[in-house]
Amino acid sequence: MTNQTKGQILAALLLVWGGAVLFQYLDESEQSDSFNTHSQGVTLQATAGSLAIAKSFANPRQHIELGTPRNIFSTFHPRSTSPQPAKKPKAPPARITPKQEAPRAVTPPLGPDPVELARQRARQQLQQFRFLGYLKKGGESQAFLSNGQSIYIVKQGTTVDNHILVYRIDPTIVTLSTKILNSGDYVKVEIPLTKDAQNS
């Protein structure tokens, strides 16, 4: 883009801006003239209400309340057209004599304890393991475990997945243990040797 083209664009923008300012000025003066011509033939009585109206016309930016405000979101919360029933008067509270005791409110059970839920989740996690086989090598027991696509060859005392301890290995059962973080308790699950491995 050359300097001459930039100058032409600048001149055009300034011309448009000047035209907008001139139009705004002329439009404003026409509005004030029309107010003066319409009010020449009318005499206003000097009452408090008429002075307030005259002052409101003199300042076009002043807010005028023309009607009752309405909720534009009323279609989302429709008003009930039926009359609302009258409120029933409340009965006075029963007086308690010293011999009577107020009935105690029965609280519904809140559901399982969070610690118990953590134990259940830990048991489910441990039960996902399968005991595929047993090997005794050099007097040391080893177990073949699987969890999904992963296969582990473990010894007693080995940690699997950084938090599951191989607690005990027997020829037919492996005991796995994990610590519950909420309470510090340990959960143990015995996993039997799979039937396919027993038959071989």
Q: How far is CA 66 from CA 36, 52, 63, 105, in A?
A: 22, 14, 9, 54
CATH number of 115-199: 2.30.30.830
| pLDDT tens per residue across all 200 residues of the chain | 899 999 999 999 999 999 999 888 887 766 655 555 554 444 444 555 555 555 556 665 666 667 777 777 766 655 555 556 666 667 666 666 656 565 666 666 667 788 888 888 989 998 999 999 999 888 899 999 999 899 999 999 999 988 899 999 999 999 999 988 878 888 999 999 887 766 65
6 phi and psi, to 5 degrees? -60, -40
Annotated domain spans of the chain: 1-31, 115-199
The set of long-range contacts for 83-92, using a CB threshold of 8 Å and a minimum separation of 24, is none
Beta-carbon contacts of 180 under 8 Å, excluding residues fewer than 6 positions away, are 115, 118, 119, 122, 186, 187
Residue 25 has what pLDDT? 83
Tell me the whole-structure pTM to 2 decimals.
0.43
Alpha-carbon distance of 151 to 197, in angstroms, equals 15
> In DSSP terms, which residues pair with 147 in a beta bridge?
150
**SS3 breakdown of the chain: % helix, strand, coil, rounded to 5?**
30, 20, 45
Residue 44 has what pLDDT? 46
99: its two tokens: 């011999």
DSSP 75-128: TTSPPP-SPPPPPPPPPPPPPPPTT--PPPPPPPP--S-HHHHHHHHHHHHHTT
